[in-house]
């Protein structure tokens, strides 16, 4: 397979270094809004990286479900591999890549479980099938090759027939409180624009990085 010549000459936009926004969260919201206009379905897909107890990094896709002044929220199983990593080491990274915009955002921060009532509220808003999934899956556990989820699904459906499902305690949200956020805009000839925000107390310092 010859992939040596797979490359694009990026030219869709620039970062205006003369007029920078003070908050990386606000700039993220602006870029995310642009991404949503182009790719409504999966613009919130991002790669979450954690570090395991034996010091190996691990990455997987999650869906961003909230952005607020504190940071970036996703939901998961609190007993999954990623949750075990976060329990031992809350320092994580999130990576968004929006190819249609030739943009990448890299976030480094600390993950913390969100308030129980916020997890409840989000869980209640999920479609019933997704709620069932949260109940049914011991995420990241090894299961038999011939494991049949339909059997467990059918018995759960029968048990909760006509009843609301409450959030399982092993499932909820994490908020990533950012300490560093880098915005990358592809530019021609690989001379990309890179802007990094780093927290200094309550203030964000801005720096331009070489491509
Ligand atoms: C498009 C996409 C979206 C996903 N969204 C989530 C999510 O929001 N939360 C989650 O726990 N897993 C999500 N997953 C599954 C994870 O990538 C991963 O398989 C799972 O969380 C187990 O990871 P772990 O074993 O490292 O904990 C998603 C996968 C894909 C491909």
How far, in Å, are 5, 34, 144, 185 from residue 106 at the CA level?
26, 17, 37, 12
Q: Determine whether 7 is an active site residue.
A: no
Q: Is the CB of 95 under 6 A from ligand 1?
A: no
- How many structural domains compose the chain? 1
Q: What is the pLDDT along the chain (211 residues), one digit of tens a residue?
A: 999 999 899 999 999 999 999 999 999 999 999 999 997 779 999 999 999 999 999 999 999 999 999 999 999 999 999 999 999 999 999 999 999 999 999 999 999 999 999 999 999 999 999 999 999 888 989 999 998 888 888 988 888 888 999 999 999 999 999 999 999 999 999 999 999 999 999 999 999 999 9
10 Cα–ligand 1 center, Å:
29
CATH number at residue 107: 2.30.110.10
Q: Is the CB of 60 under 6 A from ligand 1?
A: yes
Rg of the chain on CA atoms, in Å: 20
**pLDDT value for 120:** 98
120 domain-assigned: no
Q: Is the CB of 44 under 6 A from ligand 1?
A: no
Domain that holds residue 180: 24-115+171-209
123 domain-assigned: no
**Minimum CA distance residue for ligand 1 atom 22:** 140
As a dihedral over the C-alpha atoms of residue 55, residue 60, residue 64, residue 70, rounded to 10 degrees, the angle is 10
């Amino acid at each position: 397979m010859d992939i040596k010549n797979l490359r694009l000459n990026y030219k869709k936009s620039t970062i205006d270094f003369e007029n920078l926004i003070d908050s990386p969260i606000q700039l993220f919201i602006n870029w995310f809004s642009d991404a949503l206009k182009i790719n409504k379905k999966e613009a919130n897909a991002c790669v979450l990286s954690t570090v395991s107890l034996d010091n190996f990094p691990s990455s997987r896709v999650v869906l961003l479900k909230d952005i607020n002044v504190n940071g970036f929220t996703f939901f998961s199983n609190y007993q999954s591999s990623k949750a075990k990593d976060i329990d031992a080491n809350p320092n994580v990274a999130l990576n968004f890549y929006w190819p249609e915009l030739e943009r990448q955002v890299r976030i480094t921060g600390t993950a913390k479980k969100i308030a129980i009532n916020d997890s409840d509220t989000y869980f209640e808003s999920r479609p019933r099938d997704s709620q069932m999934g949260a109940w049914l899956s011991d995420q990241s556990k090894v299961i038999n090759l011939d494991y049949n989820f339909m059997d467990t699904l059918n018995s759960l459906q029968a048990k909760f027939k006509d009843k609301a499902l409450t959030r399982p305690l092993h499932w909820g949200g994490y908020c990533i409180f950012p300490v560093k956020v880098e915005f990358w805009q592809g530019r021609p000839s690989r001379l990309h624009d890179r802007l990094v925000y780093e927290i200094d107390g309550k203030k964000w310092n801005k720096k331009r990085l070489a491509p």
